[in-house]
Structure 1
Amino acid sequence: MAITALGSVTPAQALRRQTAQPGDAIVATGWHGASRAGLELLLHPQAGQMLAAEARDRLICAHQYPRPRFDVLPYLEALTLEHPPAAMDSSDGLADAVLQLCRTSGVGARLDGAALPMPPELASWLASETTLEWTLYGGEDFELVLCLPEGAARSLVAALGHGAAIIGQITAGSEVTLSTPDGSSPEQTLTLTRGFQHF
């Protein structure tokens, strides 16, 4: 089944992928990896036995009932920006979204592994490597990834409360790197080959 949505938008309000600039902060809304965790619990009900019932329900709900982040748009529109933000959803994974934004904008990025929005429930269930993998490449979280000037990014995160985080910075060049959460390993270079690939 294929679904196509058609509509119209005022050009000044359109969010595109190609406007990220070096120095921009990268903001991610919500948790990433929650949908992948929910899928695991649905496929393997015996998994995650140490999770509280409420935590299991939250993760499964994240997979079965994703919520598009329309609530972010009024806050974004209220900002005074030096240039239009770059943005896309993270339905194919957080890493994929950052990589696609960078490729389209002709820039690179450095992500802070310690700042990635990992669901707290996963820490008691999974090895850190698996948690990181699901956070970066799990997909189906339908959150937003935005690139905008540092000051505006901080204002947006403050307005959204715990609903968003600054996870890195846009850089010159083309490489997208990730520092490990505990800083114990060299930076990783992220590539599109590890994420979901469309036909």
Structure 2
Amino acid sequence: MPSEFDLIRRHFTRAPRHTDLAVGDDAALLRAQPGSQLAVTTDMLVAGTHFFADTDPEDLGWKTLAVNVSDLAAMGARPRWAFLALALPVADEAWIAAFARGFFACAGAHDIDLAGGDTTRGPLTLSVTLLGEVPQGAAITRAGGRPGDDLWVSGQPGRAALGLAALRGETALSPAGHATCIAALQRPQPRVALGLALRGLASAMLDVSDGLLGDLGHILEASGTGARIDVAALPLPALVATGADPALARRSLLGGGDDYELLFTAPAACRAEVEALALRLGLALHRIGELTAEAGELRLHEADGTLVRSARTGYDHFC
């Protein structure tokens, strides 16, 4: 049976690229760029709550880091240093090796050093603390939205929720739709390039982890605004094209979560810049509504012209 330190040396030690002292000592030594602020986030994934216990460990390694990378992307920060804490029921070397491959694939894609962490025996729990850098004063928070700002969302929210529904046997998707939605659930793609490009352009931003409407509520609360969503502008047709029932597709898009797309606001005067950015990045950016002056009020403008007040529902671990 390998020891804790054997496992760390064998699977989680890599040559650092921008860390003065990384894995193997009592603490890491980091050197931030002059003129930068540190952005720090942490997330925990627990078997049975955030993922099925039989999830492919390589996919799980990727996602464990990716969900944190998405948090930094949502603030316009560049990810740099990760700290990984693992509670493992058993020291299954094959599982750990596959997990490490996925984790370091995500780290390599975003130029992140694993700078430290911890392992222990216990129920399968995965936790990452991720540090990044952003120029002083350039971070994009949830609090900058103003009435009249456009409301945008990146990519295709709703796919991960459909993937989860498919795994649970709650829906049947086409073969192509099934593959696309499972990939969105298991291998989310953090929008780091978009987050960096939106510095100085977006007025408020967050990533969609607990559902579009629920997460939008955080922007409304922090910015002191309301919002109107144009239902006809939502990227719903692509979800229906997966073979999903239209009602389920709509629920997945508005309340499903786990997509890690970016939801952001920007002044209407910047609309052409945002559209040009979408072309430059090759990433769909959907203008789905606008912020309003009615603090906390969220309304859906339906295709038939009716305006419906909506609850800001989303995933909550304790509800």
> Following the alignment from structure 2 to structure 1, what is the Cα–Cα distance between the partners of residues 245 and 307?
19
After TM superposition, the structure 1 = structure 2 runs for residues 173-192 of structure 1, keeping only pairs within 5 Å, are: 173-174=294-295, 175-180=297-302, 182-183=303-304, 186-192=306-312
User: Does residue 214 of structure 2 align to residue 96 of structure 1?
Assistant: yes
Aligned-partner residue type, residue 67 of structure 1: Q
**Deviation sequence 1:41-88 (CA, Å, 0-9, x none):** 22229712xx2x3332111101110011012134323x6x5xx61000
> Following the alignment from structure 1 to structure 2, what is the Cα–Cα distance between the partners of residues 127 and 166?
24
Aligned-partner residue type, residue 33 of structure 1: G
User: Does residue 148 of structure 2 align to residue 23 of structure 1?
Assistant: yes
User: Does residue 160 of structure 2 align to residue 35 of structure 1?
Assistant: yes
Q: Check 1:130–1:55 CA distance in 2 against 1; reply closer, same or farther (3 A cut).
A: closer
Bigger RCO (CA 8 Å, 6+ sep): 1
Structure 1 residue 121 displacement after superposition: 4.1
Q: Between Structure 1 and Structure 2, how many residues are aligned?
A: 189
> Following the alignment from structure 2 to structure 1, what is the Cα–Cα distance between the partners of residues 307 and 278?
29
Helix, strand or coil at the partner of 2:198? helix
TM-score normalised by structure 2 residue count: 0.54
Q: State the match for 1:195 in structure 2.
A: 314
**Deviation sequence 1:99-128 (CA, Å, 0-9, x none):** 110111100010000111236142463333
- Unpaired runs of 5+ residues, structure 2, are 1-124
- Unpaired runs of 5+ residues, structure 1, are none
Q: Which has the higher helix share?
A: 1
Q: Check 1:46–1:183 CA distance in 2 against 1; reply closer, same or farther (3 A cut).
A: closer
**Deviation sequence 1:115-171 (CA, Å, 0-9, x none):** 112361424633332221111001000000111101323321332135111110010
> Following the alignment from structure 2 to structure 1, what is the Cα–Cα distance between the partners of residues 241 and 266?
30
Q: State the match for 1:108 in structure 2.
A: 226
Q: Which residue of the other structure, out of 5, 9, 21, is the alignment partner of 2:134?
A: 9
Structure 1 residue 5 displacement after superposition: 2.4
Helix, strand or coil at the partner of 1:9? strand
Q: Which has the higher strand share?
A: 2
> Following the alignment from structure 1 to structure 2, what is the Cα–Cα distance between the partners of residues 21 and 187?
21
Q: State the match for 1:75 in structure 2.
A: 197
> Following the alignment from structure 2 to structure 1, what is the Cα–Cα distance between the partners of residues 185 and 304?
30
After TM superposition, the structure 1 = structure 2 runs for residues 154-169 of structure 1, keeping only pairs within 5 Å, are: 154-161=272-279, 163-169=284-290
Identity over aligned pairs, percent: 31
